[in-house]
Amino acid sequence: MKTHYTEADLLETYYMQPDEASDIIAHVNGCNECQSRYRRLGEKLRDIAACPSDKPATFWTRQRMMITRAVENARHQSQATARGGRIAAAAMLAFVLGGAVVYKTIPRPKPPVVVVAQQSMAAAPDADDDLDVPRDPWQSEELKDFGSVVAWESWSR
Amino acid sequence: MTQINAFDPPDRELIARTLDGDGGAFGLLVERFQRKIYRVAYAIVRDEVEADTITQDTFIQAYTHLAKFQGRSEFETWLTRIAINRSRDSLRRRRFVRFFSSTDDEENREGFVEPVDDRPDPEREIMAHQLRGAIELAERQLSAQQKVIFRLRHYENRSLEEIAELLGLRSGTVRAHLFRAIHKIRKQLEAFR
């Protein structure tokens, strides 16, 4: 049987569940020597645990100011980032929409080749059609003999 | 729980105001919890300058992530968790630095512990100092996790359930860590027998 408990043993009871420490506590309650040792240990631990939280008011004020300043910086930074983001988003939107508007407003030029192709395609089925329009009207059978007349008329004016 | 006057606005109101851009509201939250957070940080890192830095970092981190605070726990618990995580990071960093810069002087502190006896009050202070030295020396054998748990239990008098909640661990895991820590510390404290 153990006569007395050491401070190390007693220290351990601080971390035990009440039922686990019951043997030691029962002994401590009945033993003056261990009781006083336990009390001294408690005093030592309280001394160790003493946190310097009772600092002067200036310490807490300074700490608060540091935090507030850092928080303000963080807020300005996030606002600047958000503003930059908004500007970038607006620029991107303007670019996309502008591109769409330009794209829509510029009339797509009709390639003349297509018209000619259509004409020739239209002419293709029947070469003797009266509505046949040649590529150069002055080269048509009806007008080719009048070319010099037209040139003379133009020159006389 | 921190004492709040009946006329003081509750945490939730101050949080809402902060999110609406009221910087003064966050200042009130800082004032309300800075001492408590500092104490927790100090209990873990045991260094006043480091605890001060951790306290500041805790509030800055809380501010930048305030929108993510969903109110499932108390604001104070949320802050404490942030402080504990930062303190744990600090311990890990310190351990890493010490690994590369340990000096003979630190190693020679092994002979620092002296046996306890029944000396009067003035000398008891010296013994308390020695016990502190012994515990600090013993704590070096602990992992960062064990150290955090040991210190929250030892210096902050937190219950196992509370520590488990703060660290997001199961109570049994905390208990196992604590007992392993105590086992190591006890070896160091045998000189006190």
pLDDT at B110: 37
> Which of A6, A12, A49 is opposite residue B193, by nearest beta carbon?
A6
Contact A6 B135 (CB under 8 A): no
Tokens of B48: 């006043």
Mean model confidence pLDDT for chain B: 80
Alpha helices by DSSP H, chain B: 11-19, 23-45, 48-64, 75-101, 104-107, 121-139, 144-154, 160-167, 171-189
CA atoms of B117 and B128, how far apart (whole Å)? 12
Please give the radius of gyration of chain A, using alpha carbons only, rounded to the nearest integer. Answer: 52
Query: Å from A24 to nearest chain B CA?
Result: 16
Place of tokens 């608060």: A64
Q: How many CB atoms lie within 10 A of CB A33?
A: 12
A contact residues 7-46, partner B, Cβ 8 Å cutoff: 7-8, 11-12, 14-15, 37, 40, 43-45
ipTM: 0.71
pLDDT tens string A7-22: 777 877 776 666 777 8
* Alpha-carbon dihedral angle through residues A13, B173, B65, B68, given to the nearest 10 degrees: -120
* Alpha-carbon dihedral angle through residues B166, B168, B173, B178, given to the nearest 10 degrees: -20
CA atoms of B24 and A23, how far apart (whole Å)? 54
pLDDT at A18: 63
Contact A63 B55 (CB under 8 A): yes
What length is written for chain A? 157
Tokens of B9: 């606005």
Q: How confident is the model at residue A5 (pLDDT cuts 50, 70, 90)?
A: confident
Alpha helices by DSSP H, chain A: 7-13, 22-30, 32-49, 57-105, 112-123, 147-156
Query: Å from B52 to nearest chain A CA?
Result: 8
Closest alpha carbon within chain A to B63: A71
> Which of B60, B153, B193 is opposite residue A8, by nearest beta carbon?
B193
- The verdict on A65 touching B (C-beta cutoff 8 Å) is no
pLDDT at A26: 87
Closest alpha carbon within chain A to B62: A71
- Are B56 and B82 within 8 A, CB to CB? no
Most confident of A101-115, A117-131, B53-67, B169-183: B53-67
B94 burial level (CB within 10 Å; 0-12, 13-18, 19+): middle
**What's the rounded mean pLDDT across residues A22-45?**
85
> Which of B63, B128, B182 is opposite residue A74, by nearest beta carbon?
B63
Q: Taking the mean position of all CA atoms in its chain, how far away is CA A147?
A: 73
Provide the whole-model pTM: 0.59
Kindly tell me if the per-residue pLDDT of A40 is higher than 60: yes
Sign, CA dihedral B135-B140-B141-B143, equals positive
pLDDT tens string A90-146: 888 877 777 665 555 666 676 666 555 555 555 555 555 555 555 666 667 776 676
Kindly tell me if the per-residue pLDDT of A52 is higher than 70: no
Q: How many CB atoms lie within 10 A of CB B91?
A: 22
pLDDT tens string B9-39: 899 999 999 998 888 899 999 999 999 999 9
pLDDT at B78: 93
pLDDT at B29: 94
> Which of A63, A70, A75 is opposite residue B52, by nearest beta carbon?
A63
Closest alpha carbon within chain B to A13: B182
Q: Taking the mean position of all CA atoms in its chain, how far away is CA A137?
A: 65
Kindly tell me if the per-residue pLDDT of B83 is higher than 90: yes
pLDDT at A128: 53
Q: How many CA atoms lie within 13 A of B110 on its CB side?
A: 6
Show Cβ contacts of residue B127 under 8 Å, excluding neighbours closer than 6 positions: A44, B114, B116, B119
Distances (CA, A) of B15 to B11, B18, B21, B40: 6, 5, 10, 22
